Structure 1
Amino acid sequence: MSATEFKESIDHLESEKPQQLESLAERGHAVTDEHGNVLVEFDAAAEKRLVRKIDLFVVPTVAMIYLWCFIDRANIGNAKIAGMQKDLNLHGYRYNILLTSFYVSYILFEIPSNILCKWIGPAIWLPAITFLFGLMSMATAFVHSFGSAVVVRFLLGVFEAGVLPGIAYYLSRWYRKSELIFRLALYLCTAPLAGAFGGLLAGAILSLPGIGSVHSWQQLFLVEGIITMGVALIAFFTMTDHPNTARWLSDDEKALAIARVKSENVGTTEVTDKLDKKKLLAGIVNPNTLATSWIFLFVNVTVQGIAFFTPTIVATIYPNESIVRKQLWTVPPYVVGVVINLIIPFASWKTDRRLVFFISSACLAITGYIMFLATTNPRVRYGAVFFAISGSFPFGALCNAHVAVNVLSDSARSTAIGWNVMVGNIGGLISTWSYLPHDSPDFHIGNGLNLAGNCTILITSILLLLYLGADNKKRDKVTDDEVDAKLAGKTQLEIQELDWKHPAWRWHL
């Protein structure tokens, strides 16, 4: 379809009174004109009912998947102080190497996994990889050497790689740009919840006398791996790829769900497009994606460092406590983190702003690491853990939402989110070497690194806000006639492939 034919089809639709949501929701029909003007008025009450229904049927399943994804990744921190370090002879830097093996595969398979998620479909891909990483978690209970632990940890990274970007991409098919941030938070808040619940669960499991030949730390991996595989089997029956395939939506609700997502992407004629190389590349080279992924790198130095080393740090703060009590001391900071991880994205949703919350969250984390470095008082340093968790965990929702809402096509969104998480997890790789044995108990290197990282996040966020705001002002000066001239002679596919270069596009701040 040429740009002229596209305009004629829009004119035809505009002449129909009332607008037919069903026709606008069909593949091949846009819900905006070439200038980004929405061609239909949505019923606010119907939208509200639809969003509540989507929340009920979509969010709980992905939240459970991510909860157990994070538990299966981070339980190694609990296992370390419960005897794993001694049994597997993790002397020197072996524990750090074990953590690194996970991130090597986790980074390499990030983008390929998200492309496969789009190609195969989230409803099959996400439950499948959940079952497999649950299997790898269970297998960890039966390793008896450092080498075998490295292999299993590497495979765990292969299967977990697609979870965070896959879920973020999946949710972007269902929600408006302003709504997406809070829904991402609803499942990402399970990360700090996993820290709290993981500590409680670890304490309970470690209190068991043993399961056959499996004992102490091995029980953590066995029990939690089996639960994860159970969650995966449930997800096979509860997940659906997109609104068109949802049995729990009526035809009118399907049309509304599709049309409202298309309405926020200028010139978009389908919610789930076919794989397109130019669109895939557009998601990565987007300047917002590149800047946000740089921020997410430093975020993950903090987040993954907290996940892997909080039990160790707490153990140095309270060295005389029992193993079970040390596990339980890790719970309160994560509980506060869950609350903050919902409050900040909720405020972001209601204000439809993200970058200002990048800035405020970075300030919270900076406060925490200054406290770590400024004193050796156990109570103050324990309080610093609260600030570090509260300031860093909201970035999971903030960064992935900010990337997702600043691309146009479904293909570009899959690679943009995949790239963001891939680069971010280079930070996870760095975090495995941030807290070293010889730096204990004060961990000046690890805490200093995280302080510097969060200062970098703060500076980059301010610069990105200024850049995108200035570019929007520049785009506002482009007239409709100039937009028409730039689009003249282009096919509809060529117009879609412009993505963020489309003259009617505006950045979402």
Structure 2
Amino acid sequence: MDLYAEKAQVTQAERVPTSPLRNDKNEGVGVLARVPSVATIQSFAHLNEKAILRKMDMRLIPMLAALYLLSFLDRGNIGNAKIEGLQEDLHMTSDQYNWCLTVFFFTYAAFEVPSNLLLKKLRPSRWLPTIMVAWGVVMTLMGIVQSYSGLLSARLFLGVAEAGLFPGVAYYLTMWYTRDEIQLRQALFFSAASIAGAFSGLLAFAISKMDGVGNLEGWRWIFILEGMATVIVALLAYLFLHDFPETATFLTEEERAFVVFRLKYQGQGIPAKGAGVEDGLVRPRVAQAEEFRWDYVRQAFVDWQIWVNVFVYWSIVCPLYGISLFLPTIIRNLGYESSTAQLMTVPIYITAAILAVIVAHFSDKMGKRSPFIIGFLCMMIVGFAMCISTSNPRVVYAGVFVATCAIYPAFPGVISWLCNNLAGSYKRSAGMAIQIGVGNLGGAMASNFYRQKDSPRFILGHALEIAFITAGIIASVILLTGYASINKKRERKMREGGLDNYTQEELSRLGDKALTFRYMY
């Protein structure tokens, strides 16, 4: 049955009574003081769902976007610093510079799963700003490094500090929004990366004019000022971030109960015995906070879909980091001055951000992920093929434009596709961290794609991007056919009465392996 069908109107007398519950802060999720003891979708028919979503959007998305904007700005501004003289002033070779890019991803990948598990146990409103303060301090200190070894060490610690933000926020959003709403919110959050790319060029152009102030080079001021800005925003985040729907003070008790209810039954088909079904209405027991079990983490590590999805992730993240780390260099090597190269990145990123939001809206509306992802992967191949086929600056710039405008809409799609198909909060937390952690090793690879000795055409770098994108298309098709096959098998088993063999508790423990769960593709 469709729990999100048109709601029937009910009177005040028909509303379900409420009962008190405990507040268990040790689980990191506060349970509502008063929620419906017996709930149906009709119990909430009088609520304005769109108004509640707007309220959530206004309280959550702007602050999360600001956090990610600064995160992406701080990890990618080394590309802007490079064309302002970083490599020459620290007497680094091009290979040493590439190593400074690469080591960031080693620690970044290693600490993502532990950080996501801590986010579930601790309060997001404390954990996320804390790690943000840490990387802001590291970024500021990068402005005073005096050697290759100093920069290398700073990038290692930057990876440790930044590791928890993106997978943490991507998972955090799944605790507020349903499967068919999540990509738009992921896109709004992730579009901050596009804006960061544009903002980075403008900011670097302006800050580089401080060259000589305080006897410091302009590229040092890029690190120092952007690091200080990160710390300031992190302190504000302590005040403005919210934890979970169950404890959201900007929602009424009834609105909090509704948000929890709609999340509990997303992705499920027919309720199992013991769920409480009368007249076609689901009357669930009040959900308690899910207890942590290492088995949930193990399930994530052995789930086939996560590892296949990693290849799709690589096909997007390799071009993403290739573009973000080297776009100013690529444009400068086409014959433009460094200041012009910084400014020419701006229209690319702005256009990509707008497209990401528009595409996410239609993907959520259609309830489909794979057609958009595969389509944009094909578009990326066209863009990089334009870059590799000629040395004409205008054609190369157009190719980069096309590729970037495909990368940024595709990225929220691949994140949403996996989180839509993982059930159980701890498994989803671990699974998304694996996807993003292992997936971001693609950034380590991409940071070595564009070697200085291959300039100005960077044929090897563009060819490697095309190879990864092709692998991603193949992996997407595997996921698509696998999901469709499993859904059909589950539907057949349910028609044969297979659901009678399970209780509600057993299906809950099975998560996305339950007969009632349907994969989104």
For normalisation by structure 1, the TM-score amounts to 0.90
In 2, are the aligned partners of 1:130 and 1:160 still within 8 Å (CA)? yes
Distance in structure 1 (CA, Å) of the matches to 2:255 and 2:230: 32
Q: 1:20 to 1:280 in 2, by over 3 A?
A: farther
Matched, 1:500 2:496: no
Q: How does 1:53-452 map to 2 (within 5 A)?
A: 53-264=55-266, 266=268, 270=287, 272-317=289-334, 319=335, 321-452=336-467
In 1, are the aligned partners of 2:35 and 2:253 still within 8 Å (CA)? no
Amino acid at match of 1:305: G
**Greater CA drift, 51-60 or 337-346:** 337-346
Q: 1:159 to 1:224 in 2, by over 3 A?
A: same
Following superposition, the deviation at residue 352 of structure 1 comes to: 1.3
Which residue is equivalent to 1:40?
A: 41
Amino acid at match of 1:401: S
Q: 1:376 to 1:52 in 2, by over 3 A?
A: same
Distance in structure 2 (CA, Å) of the matches to 1:378 and 1:407: 44
Following superposition, the deviation at residue 23 of structure 1 comes to: 6.4
Distance in structure 1 (CA, Å) of the matches to 2:514 and 2:120: 24
Q: 1:60 to 1:24 in 2, by over 3 A?
A: farther
Which residue is equivalent to 1:12?
A: none
Distance in structure 2 (CA, Å) of the matches to 1:265 and 1:365: 31
Residues matched between the structures, number: 483
Distance in structure 2 (CA, Å) of the matches to 1:479 and 1:60: 43
Which residue is equivalent to 1:473?
A: 488
Paired residue secondary structure (1:235): helix
In 2, are the aligned partners of 1:72 and 1:137 still within 8 Å (CA)? yes
Paired residue secondary structure (1:353): coil
Amino acid at match of 2:118: L
Distance in structure 2 (CA, Å) of the matches to 1:65 and 1:429: 22
**Greater CA drift, 42-51 or 340-349:** 42-51
Distance in structure 1 (CA, Å) of the matches to 2:370 and 2:47: 29
Amino acid at match of 1:407: L
Q: 1:22 to 1:200 in 2, by over 3 A?
A: farther
Following superposition, the deviation at residue 209 of structure 1 comes to: 4.8
Matched, 1:455 2:470: yes
In 1, are the aligned partners of 2:19 and 2:35 still within 8 Å (CA)? no
Following superposition, the deviation at residue 289 of structure 1 comes to: 2.1
**Greater CA drift, 431-440 or 75-84:** 431-440
Distance in structure 1 (CA, Å) of the matches to 2:289 and 2:244: 8
Amino acid at match of 2:350: V
In 2, are the aligned partners of 1:101 and 1:154 still within 8 Å (CA)? yes
Paired residue secondary structure (1:156): helix
In 2, are the aligned partners of 1:286 and 1:500 still within 8 Å (CA)? no
Following superposition, the deviation at residue 25 of structure 1 comes to: 10
Paired residue secondary structure (1:393): helix
**What whole-Å deviation, never above 9, does each CA across 1:385-406 have from its counterpart, x for those lacking one?**
1111111122321111111111
Q: 1:188 to 1:367 in 2, by over 3 A?
A: same
In 2, are the aligned partners of 1:71 and 1:195 still within 8 Å (CA)? yes
In 2, are the aligned partners of 1:30 and 1:262 still within 8 Å (CA)? no
**Greater CA drift, 365-374 or 291-300:** 291-300
**What whole-Å deviation, never above 9, does each CA across 1:406-454 have from its counterpart, x for those lacking one?**
1221111101110110121111110111111221111111000011111
Paired residue secondary structure (1:264): coil
Amino acid at match of 2:304: P
Which residue is equivalent to 2:4?
A: none
In 1, are the aligned partners of 2:373 and 2:410 still within 8 Å (CA)? yes
Distance in structure 2 (CA, Å) of the matches to 1:25 and 1:423: 40
Distance in structure 2 (CA, Å) of the matches to 1:150 and 1:179: 40
**What whole-Å deviation, never above 9, does each CA across 1:55-103 have from its counterpart, x for those lacking one?**
0001111100000000000000000010101011121401111111111
- Unaligned 5+ segments in structure 2 are 1-12, 23-30, 272-283
In 2, are the aligned partners of 1:96 and 1:433 still within 8 Å (CA)? yes
Amino acid at match of 1:40: I
In 2, are the aligned partners of 1:271 and 1:410 still within 8 Å (CA)? no
**Greater CA drift, 143-152 or 460-469:** 460-469
Which residue is equivalent to 1:4?
A: none
Q: 1:25 to 1:439 in 2, by over 3 A?
A: farther
Distance in structure 1 (CA, Å) of the matches to 2:320 and 2:66: 19
Q: 1:40 to 1:140 in 2, by over 3 A?
A: same
**What whole-Å deviation, never above 9, does each CA across 1:130-155 have from its counterpart, x for those lacking one?**
11111111110010000011111100
In 2, are the aligned partners of 1:262 and 1:271 still within 8 Å (CA)? no
Amino acid at match of 2:52: L
Distance in structure 2 (CA, Å) of the matches to 1:65 and 1:76: 18
In 2, are the aligned partners of 1:206 and 1:324 still within 8 Å (CA)? no
In 1, are the aligned partners of 2:35 and 2:257 still within 8 Å (CA)? no
Q: 1:122 to 1:323 in 2, by over 3 A?
A: same
Following superposition, the deviation at residue 47 of structure 1 comes to: 1.0
Following superposition, the deviation at residue 272 of structure 1 comes to: 4.8
In 1, are the aligned partners of 2:143 and 2:220 still within 8 Å (CA)? yes
Paired residue secondary structure (2:85): helix
Following superposition, the deviation at residue 30 of structure 1 comes to: 12
**What whole-Å deviation, never above 9, does each CA across 1:370-392 have from its counterpart, x for those lacking one?**
10111111100000111111111
Amino acid at match of 1:20: V
Following superposition, the deviation at residue 265 of structure 1 comes to: 5.2
Matched, 1:20 2:37: no
For normalisation by structure 2, the TM-score amounts to 0.88
